[in-house]
Amino acid sequence: MNCCVVGLQWGDEGKGKVVDILAEKSDLVVRYNGGANAGHTVIIGDQKYALHLMPSGAVRPGCRCIISNGVVVDPAVLIEEINGLDKRGISLKERLFISENAHVVLDYHKLEDRLREEALGKNKIGTTARGIGPCYADKVGRSYAVRMADFRDPQRLKEKLETIVSYKNKLFGALYGAPPMQVGPLLEKCQTYRTILEPCITNTTEMLYKAIDAGDSILFEGAQGALLDLDHGTFPFVTSSNASALGLGPGCGVPSRHVDRILGVVKSYMTRVGAGPFPAEQDNEIGNRIREKGHEYGTTTGRPRRCGWFDAVAVAYTARLGGITEIAMMHLDTLAGLDEVKICRAYRIGNRETTFFPGDLSDLTAAECVYETLPGWQEDLSEAGEMADLPDNARRYLETVESLVGVPITMVGVGPKRSQIIYRKPL
């Protein structure tokens, strides 16, 4: 059984926990998009692991981990994660595989991300400053790109970096008045990266086809969320990869017909970090309450997340986009204690009402939410082990979301621990 897990909002839906639960039954876990901009938190027992680049399956000792071609790899972050896990007794030796075709994020990408955002001022995207956009831009531009395979050939890498640094120096100097970078220190760093990572570099597409032929069970782990998808999200306030389930094929070379189950993860409310339209945002006491109770601060940047009511218009759209077969709703416990809870069921744009998510940014910016208001619940849900343990109003909330989104909710999160999840069907 092969399964893909993706976020259906603007990221941070709690995918790490779902992936970790499913990873226990998987032979391989694959990260196929994004880079160190992601932040996955996995809690096992009293141990908390915050991962950025590593597939969440890394914390499961028997699980093989693949970072496929669609990921942009920051070797410094990856090595830090490998060492961090190693110190805690989790070895990645002979079970971490990185695609030779994955592009490499280097210092000049992070510098460019920062310089560009600073220059944009109030129009900035609010990126994570991890060099994601500049690295994907170099990938698309082709001429100044470094891939993992280049680490196998030091001479080729040296020549490439000399050309790239000279090109970037001209560019950054002219555009931002930045002082020139030296290629020497970068070459030295790359030498260290090469020594540590070279044994992991391989043809991950071939590996995946062999695993499929052998009947292995594969878990594909999407990073960020579908509303941040480069092509189908809230452009330009998106990330630079296909963060919906549509990114799976290009991101690792496996067509979706090999995926039996596509699980969309949502929170019981919406959050967003960075700039961009957010129709159901509650920039008020409700939003503050959700933020504090749900600990809505970025894993990667520590930034407070913007919070709002659940947006069924947006999620119905991303569920369609991803061919989602079932939904895991996390953080239902966070909404406890409110007198009433709201779900956005339509947008009013000017004098028309729509239940389809607009493609045009100005429509989305103008959209006002039409809410379904439901009674809240006061009970603490953290001990709920099955649906019957939930208060009637919490069950009604789930049923309303299901009917508006059109996809069944099969898992319900009631707390941060692995055990705090209600399964409505066997895993």
| Contacting positions for ligand IMP (CB under 6 A) | 10-12, 37-39, 125-128, 130, 132-133, 223-224, 228, 237, 239-240, 273-274
Type and span of the H or E element at 30: strand 28-31
Asked if residue 108 lies in contact with residue 168, where contact means CB atoms within 8 angstroms, the answer is yes
Question: What is the 3-state composition of the chain as percent helix, strand, coil, each rounded to the nearest 5?
Answer: 40, 20, 40
Pairwise CA distance, residues 85 & 44, whole Å:
13
Which own/partner contact pairs does 166-175 have at CB distance under 8 Å and 24+ positions apart?
168/108, 168/112, 168/144, 172/108, 172/111, 172/112, 172/115, 175/115, 175/119
Cα 339 to chain centroid distance, Å, stands at 32
Asked if residue 272 lies in contact with residue 235, where contact means CB atoms within 8 angstroms, the answer is no
> Which residue of the set 20, 27, 40, 258 is catalytic?
40
Shortest spacing between CB 226 and ligand IMP, in angstroms: 12
109 or 345: whose CB is closer to ligand IMP? 109
| Phi and psi at residue 182, to the nearest 5° | -95, 140
Shortest spacing between CB 243 and ligand IMP, in angstroms: 8
98 or 273: whose CB is closer to ligand IMP? 273
Q: With 0-12 CB in 10 A as exposed, 13-18 as middle and 19+ as buried, what is 170? A: exposed
Asked if residue 128 lies in contact with residue 303, where contact means CB atoms within 8 angstroms, the answer is no
338 or 361: whose CB is closer to ligand IMP? 361
Cα 181 to chain centroid distance, Å, stands at 31
DSSP string, 367-395: -EEEEEEEE---S--TT--SGGGS-HHHH
- The CB-nearest residue to ligand IMP is 274
Shortest spacing between CB 192 and ligand IMP, in angstroms: 25
> What separation in angstroms does the CA of 44 have from each of 22, 65, 83, 234, 416?
13, 18, 19, 34, 10
Hey, what amino acid is at 334?
T
Shortest spacing between CB 370 and ligand IMP, in angstroms: 26
What b-and-e string marks burial along 272-284, b requiring 16 or more CB atoms within 10 Å of the CB?
bbbbbbbbbbbee
Shortest spacing between CB 340 and ligand IMP, in angstroms: 28
Shortest spacing between CB 134 and ligand IMP, in angstroms: 9
38 or 164: whose CB is closer to ligand IMP? 38
Pairwise CA distance, residues 173 & 178, whole Å:
5
Pairwise CA distance, residues 417 & 238, whole Å:
30
Residue 392: active-site member = no
Angle in degrees, CA 7, 8, 11, rounded to 5: 50
273 or 404: whose CB is closer to ligand IMP? 273
Shortest spacing between CB 323 and ligand IMP, in angstroms: 22
Shortest spacing between CB 416 and ligand IMP, in angstroms: 17
274 or 308: whose CB is closer to ligand IMP? 274
125 or 374: whose CB is closer to ligand IMP? 125
Residue 232: active-site member = no
> Which residue of the set 12, 138, 311, 333 is catalytic?
12
39 or 253: whose CB is closer to ligand IMP? 39
The residues that are catalytic are 12, 40
